[in-house]
Amino acid sequence: MNYTPTMDDFPDNFLDALGAWQRGWREDQDVRIKCGDALRSASANLPTAFKSVSVECYRKRFLRASEYPLLFLNEFLEDGLTSWTIDRAFAEKFKGIRQPDTDRAAIFSCRPHPDDVVLNIPAPWDSTQFREAVERYERA
């Protein structure tokens, strides 16, 4: 990473949004959308280094029978903002084997286009300034 971030790159509204996203939404789609919108907005001015992924990413998706035609006809499902991982084994274990009201689970993979990445969550942790901003935030 050529850019050296400052603590100002990680304001409280960003840390609020990141915390809310990571705490999750307990399958409440309205909360997911609210958290996702907040994270997208708070991440908008972050340096590109924190919004890029150059390796394959994975996501487990539980499927309902009614979604199969959309998946096979369109070759994708539109879920809005979602989390992906670079660890396939983690994706496979995530949220278990079955979910209520679903028939199957599938692991999807992609190499994301830069415009598709809102935040590479592990990336800021490599920055001393981010860790200092988190410590400041926790003390407040």
DSSP the chain: ------GGGS-HHHHHHHHHHHH--TT-HHHHHHHHHHHHHHHTTS-GGGS---S-EEEEEEE-GGGHHHHHHHSS----S---BS-HHHHHHTT-S--TT-SEEEEEEE---GGG-S--TTGGGG-HHHHHHHHHHHH-
Sign of CA dihedral 78, 83, 85, 90: negative
pLDDT score of 92 more than 90:
yes
Give the model's pLDDT for residue 132.
95
pLDDT score of 65 more than 70:
yes
Taking only Cα atoms into account, the Rg of the chain, rounded to an integer number of angstroms, comes to 17
Residues contacting 87, CB < 8 A, separation 6+: 58
Give the model's pLDDT for residue 6.
83
Residues 100-139 have pLDDT tens digits of 899 999 999 999 998 999 999 999 999 999 999 999 999 9
> What's the pLDDT band for 3 if we cut at 50, 70, 90?
low
pLDDT score of 1 more than 90:
no
pLDDT, average across residues 72-82: 90
d(CA 57, CA 88): 8
Residues 10-61 have pLDDT tens digits of 999 999 999 999 999 888 999 999 999 999 999 999 988 899 999 999 999 9
| 83 touches 120 (CB < 8 A) | no
Of 135, 75, 71, 56, nearest to 105 by C-alpha is 71
